[in-house]
Amino acid sequence: MIRLCCLVLLALSGCSCFLFDDPDPVETLPWWKTTIIYQVYPRSFKDSDGDGVGDIQGLRILMDFVPNHTSDQHDWFQKSLRKEGKYTDFYVWADGKLLDNGTLIRPNNWLGIFGGTVWTWVPERQQYYLHQFTPYQPDLNFRNPDVREEVMLTMRYWLDQGIDGLRMDAIANLYEDEQLRDNPLSGQPVPSDDWNYLIAKYTNYLQPEVPQEIVRWQSVFDSMTKVDGKERFMVLEFYTDSDTRSKMAEFGAHPFNMDLVDSLTVPLNASQIMGLVSQEYTNKPASYWPTFVVGNHDRKRIASKYGRYTVNAFNMLLMTLKGTPTTYYGEEIGMEDISLTYQESQDPWAINAGPDRYLLVSRDVNRSPMQWSDSPQAGFTTGNKTWLPIQANYTSLNVEIEKVQARSHLNLYKEYASLRQLKAFKYGHINVNMVTNDNVLSYLRYFSTDRYLVAINFGQSESTDDYSLHLVNTNSGVVVSDTGNVDAAIAKGSTVDLQKLTLKPGNGVVVKLN
């Protein structure tokens, strides 16, 4: 069947919402605009049967749905191999190219996401089939109306089971160039079978048919809502820029904002971060809703990528921006990437890269089992083995220990989440035209007379700045939350002088303005 559940997104309490011009009445908003989404990699979250592999059960959940491909063992593909009826063109099949010397070669130069060619020869059909991921995951042919109908029926099936929405995966791979033109060379110094060797102009960019597909999918959600009044949420996994996200919103789409996952330089620069954030509030259609993400199952963890001192700073940012945030499991306790050998690898991308290059692309490093306690296997399983290694620091960094530490990552995360119940964060506006430089960024959240300043140092140096100007228009305020690593003078409960507020790298405060 179409691949489901490589991850699950759980809707948690606490959220940020929009209220545009009228600050008095509280607007009734759909649940997905009033929640925190918690992304779980099910194989690594909690194992209930002792086999070392996670098997989380859910209710209000969003499921990962991958319309691009099926298994090569799927009944559709097996029938397509045999050219049976309507299934003959259910997948992308192509003839090879015949050279003057009689040699048959692949249709074009396209490379797969995990490396190597996207084409596999099938003697039974005397044709190649397309697979942008692994040969075991053949791409469906979305130019076939029967395929589009079957996919929508599959979507409806899972929504009928009671799930609350779908995360549509690999949207950029849904359609390919119909003429099968060669992708141009990228010029990058990588092996010739590496995906980055080519510019994926005709395979991994947004093809013009994709928006039409999104409209069709949204019609499935809308038709079901008309029947039972229950609103479902569709969010898209798509690495793209702010302008493209805006255009997709016009078609009813809600693409994840991956800018904070994929576009930040190291070392961090606060001006760059604010530049990416502010795009979400500038020149956007009324239907646009920010969906911020700072980490996921495909990228290194925050603590490993930017340093442990940034964990609380990023969590504070994510929880206090205007929009719907998504937290990747383990980020709330500051989990780090694991070390593993090539033989321990499970990720096909890493396996295909080989023993010399696997760590350059491995996604196993940030998919390790959740660290619940300091008991054997980090409390993840009662079994003796886990599908991926446990991070070695689990004895000192786990949920059980952090629950009782007053200013732990976990308890600070809970504190930031609770801020989202305040009107200024839940129903309020945001103004990002505040103090920002290479070290610090700041913004104002406000609703009626309630006003809060958020200031965070993501830079490399201490910074002393005057935050009293602009719409702040006051010289002092009370700190209602901090990042746990601040000096006592600006810790939670302190009254601070906004004309001369000093933040060190990794410091952040939320100040209720007087």
- Beta-carbon-side half-sphere exposure of residue 123 (alpha carbons within 13 Å): 0
Find the angle CA(339)-CA(66)-CA(119) to the nearest 5 degrees. Answer: 85
φ/ψ of 488, rounded to 5, equals -60, -30
Collapsing DSSP to helix, strand or coil, 389 comes out as: coil
In the 8-state DSSP scheme, what is residue 91? B
Bond from prior residue into 267 cis (ω within 30 degrees of 0)? yes
Question: Tokens 């048919």 appear where?
Answer: 209
Q: How many CA atoms lie within 13 A of 92 on its CB side?
A: 27
Contact residues for 285 (Cβ-Cβ < 8 A; gap 6+): 246, 249, 250
Query: Is 211 strand, coil or helix?
Result: helix
3-class DSSP state for residue 103?
coil
7 within 8 A of 167, measured Cβ to Cβ: yes
237 is annotated as an active-site residue: yes
Show the CA angle centred on residue 50, arms to residues 45 and 55, nearest 5°.
Answer: 35
How does 292-329 read in b/e, with b if 16+ C-beta sit within 10 Å?
bbbbbbbbbbbbbbbeeebbbbbbbbbbbbbbbbbbbb
Question: Could you give the 3-state DSSP secondary structure of residue 477?
Answer: strand
Place of tokens 């499991």: 329
Distance CA 487, CA 491 (A): 6
Q: With H, G, I as helix, E, B as strand and everything else as coil, classify residue 503.
A: strand
Q: Are 267 and 456 in contact (CB under 8 A)?
A: no
Exactly one of 64, 150, 164, 169 is catalytic; name it. 169
Q: What is the CA radius of gyration of the chain?
A: 24
d(CA 486, CA 482): 7
Beta carbons of 453 and 484 less than 8 angstroms apart: no
Q: Which residue of the set 237, 259, 280, 415 is catalytic?
A: 237
Partners of 454 in the beta sheet?
443, 510
Task: Let me know: does 176 contact 128? Beta carbons within 8 Å.
Answer: no
For 233, the token pair is 């949420």
| Cβ proximity of 43 and 53 under 8 Å | yes
Which positions are annotated as active-site residues? 169, 237
